[in-house]
Amino acid sequence: MKKRSLWLLPLAGALALTGCADAGTDAPAASGDAQATQEAVAAEPLDAAAVKTIVEKLVADESGAQVIDSAAIAESLPQAKKLVESMKIEPAECADLVVQQSSLDITGINMATAIVAGEKTGESTSYSVASYEDDAKLATAKKAAETKDLQGCDKFSMEMQGMKLNATAEILDATSDADLTVATKSNISMDGKEVPMGSLTLQGFVGPNMVSVAYSGEVEDEKTKLDELTKELNVAVAELNKAQ
pLDDT one-digit tens code per residue, 178-190: 999 999 888 888 8
Residue type, 52: K
> So what's the pLDDT on residue 3?
31
Q: Note the pLDDT of residue 117.
A: 83
Domain residues of the chain, as ranges? 2-243
What pLDDT is stored for residue 99 in this prediction? 64
The CATH code belonging to domain 2-243 is 3.40.1000.70
Q: Which long-range contacts (C-beta less than 8 Å, at least 24 apart) are formed by 101-105?
A: 101/21, 102/20, 102/21, 102/22, 102/23, 102/24, 103/15, 103/16, 103/18, 103/19, 103/20, 103/21, 104/12, 104/15, 104/77, 104/80, 105/20, 105/77
196's enclosing H/E stretch is strand 193-206
pLDDT of 43? 79
pLDDT on residue 196: 64
Please tell me the distance from the alpha carbon of residue 19 to that of residue 90, in angstroms, as a whole number. 21
DSSP H helices in 100-159? 135-147
Q: What residue ranges of the chain have pLDDT lower than 50?
A: 1-41, 101-102
Residue 7, pLDDT score: 32
